[in-house]
Structure 1
Amino acid sequence: MFKVSEVFFSPGSTTKKVVKEISSKFDGEKDCYDLLKEHNKIILQEFQEDELLIIGLPVFSGRIPQIVKVDLENLKGNNTLAIPVVVYGNRDYDDALLELKEILDKNGFKTITAGAFVAQHSIFPETAKNRPDSKDLEKINEFTTKTIEKIEDYTNNKENFKEITVPGNKPYREIQGVPLKPTSNKNCTECGTCATLCPTKAIDIENPKSTDGSKCITCTACIYACPEDAREFNKLMFVPASKLFAKKCSERKEPEFFY
């Protein structure tokens, strides 16, 4: 039986949902590391050979969120099995899964399986709305069942372990900033929830209505966390951008697994 550690960065909670769904099929002790709430707070964590790491990250501009790389550097494996997953909003995951896998490889983990899953887009929620849905959950269960079989086989035949490959290109896709930045509207009560959660400290805790656009990475955590629906994008920019994005990404994409 493996001790399971869940690691995720999930501003809109969909990546967390995917990781938790995978983790739920494993028995035994579990630890949880929320990289949104614990960003820059994780000290060196070493994982042993009898442990399992399930790590999920959203896709930002075809890459993993660069802000979490400092946290990932503090996760060290000792031939520890890992399940890297990326979650994207029905456009493409580009080089994100490869980037995550290569970080884990460098840090002493062994990727046993990997997956790319679709969820409601964090910026344009009308795209892939309400995903992961029931069909996605069936696919996640299928992926997890196969993963458990592979882990059992690995446990009995460690010498036959074969490195898996995942899609992606080197050099990685160039990161392009998102011009849309959330700001406060008239509903804001200055409760500070958004400022407390913001991983880049782009929102002033003393004046939550103020947002530093140069620091904001448009992760949308503030939008989903606000109890007053007081965080939003400029409608003059958002409405046409949302329609254009929905048109380009209307065809349903399905999860992809790598064993």
Structure 2
Amino acid sequence: MQIREIHSLYFSPTGGTAKYAKAMAEGAAEALACPAEISSFTLPREREEGRHFSSDELLIIGSPTYAGKLPNKILPEFQEKLRGEHTPVLLFVTYGNRNFDNSLAELLSVLRGNGFLPLAAAAFACRHAFSDRICPERPRAEELTAARSFAARAAEALKTAERAALEAVSLAFTVPGDAGAPYYVPKGEDGAPAKFLKAKPLTDLSKCLHCGACAANCPMGSIDSSDTSKVPGICIKCQACVRGCKQGAKYFEDAAFLSHVRMLEENFAAPEKENLYFSVF
């Protein structure tokens, strides 16, 4: 099967998913000896236009896991903006050491329904967006090397595969999880559900330089660029504003949210989960 171009696309508010997307693109590009375009699907302007991929292109696509599935406010963008034409795809998710639950199955279902041929998939444990105590150094160099090798092996197999055979095995390809399952319900330290859907970041004005980086980095475009202490739009708790503020001016103080973070730190800081790989090859 001839592949003329590789596209690596990612939703990555805090950067971990982007690192894996780049590593996988490099591995596939080396194996197929063809160019790879690496692009973000994170910011509102990056999701404005639909993206169509042909049968002689390879798509690599990744997303973080939010509450055990794809980010619910971004899911419609995946469903509506991505279209394949029997396009082979390597898909992956990242997760903050608790569990990827049903996110990989949901991504596979979306892609298959949009004309793609899922052929290989992975789930990568990554630094948790909420806490530096959970997988603080991941992805490490050796894990990016493993991801690169995984993509290279899958891409190499494409070169000698017949399209009819690929389409047949792709239809039968499965990954762990249930695409239709409900979202994971976050829990607090007491084990009860932690309800923080309305929580939004606050601003320490004694530290804020009004540089606008938080507004520019928000994947929902929800922070007021003229007054970044205001968040009139939806907050998906991705931590892009918190992680991206060099002055440490952005923070959360919602009690339920902080209780959930402490629960995660107590139960999932160690041992670190292994990365998992699935392939038709």
Deviation for aligned residue 1:194: 0.9
- Residues 98-138 of structure 1: CA distance to partner in whole angstroms, max 9, x if unpaired? 11111100110001101100110011121011101134224
Match of 1:140? Answer: 147
Task: After superposition, give the CA deviation of every residue in 1:203-229 in whole Å (9 maximum; x if it has no partner).
Answer: 2222101234x7111011111222322
Kept in 1, the 8 Å contact 2:40–2:46? The answer is no
Distance 1:192 1:56 in 2: 27
- 1:240 deviates by 5.3
Q: Find the counterpart in structure 1 of residue 219 from structure 2.
A: 199
Change in CA separation of 1:248 and 1:132 when aligned onto 2, cut-off 3 Å: same
Q: What's the CA shift for 1:239?
A: 6.2
Alignment of 1:3-14 (within 5 A): 3-14=5-16
The aligned counterpart of 1:82 is 89
Identity over aligned pairs, percent? 27
Letter in 1 for 2:63: L
Give 1:103's aligned residue.
110
Q: Answer yes or no: is the 8 Å Cα contact 1:94–1:173 preserved in 2.
A: no
Q: Does 1:54 align with 2:60?
A: yes
Q: Which moved more, 1:160-169 or 1:170-179?
A: 170-179
1:228 aligns with 2:247: yes
Flag structure 2 segments of 5+ consecutive residues without an equivalent.
187-194
CA RMSD of aligned residues (A): 2.2
* Alpha-carbon displacement from aligned partner over 1:17-47 (angstroms, at most 9, x marks no partner): 0000000121423333312224564322221
**Which segments of 5 or more consecutive residues in structure 1 lack a partner in the other structure?**
none
Q: TM-score, normalised by structure 1?
A: 0.89
Distance between the aligned counterparts of 1:220 and 1:2, measured in 2?
A: 37
The answer to whether the aligner puts 1:65 opposite 2:52 as a matched pair is no
Corresponding position: 1:208 with 2:228? yes
How far 1:235 sits from its partner (Å)? Answer: 8.6
Hey, what does 1:159 align to over in structure 2?
164
1:238 Cα deviation after fit: 6.6
Alpha-carbon distance between aligned partners in 2 of 1:108 and 1:235, rounded to the nearest angstrom: 42
Structure with larger RCO (C-alpha < 8 A, sep 6+): 2
Q: Partners in 2 of 1:103 and 1:240 — Cα distance?
A: 33
- TM-score normalised over the length of structure 2: 0.83
- Look up the match of 2:17: 15
Match of 1:246 among 241, 265, 273: 265
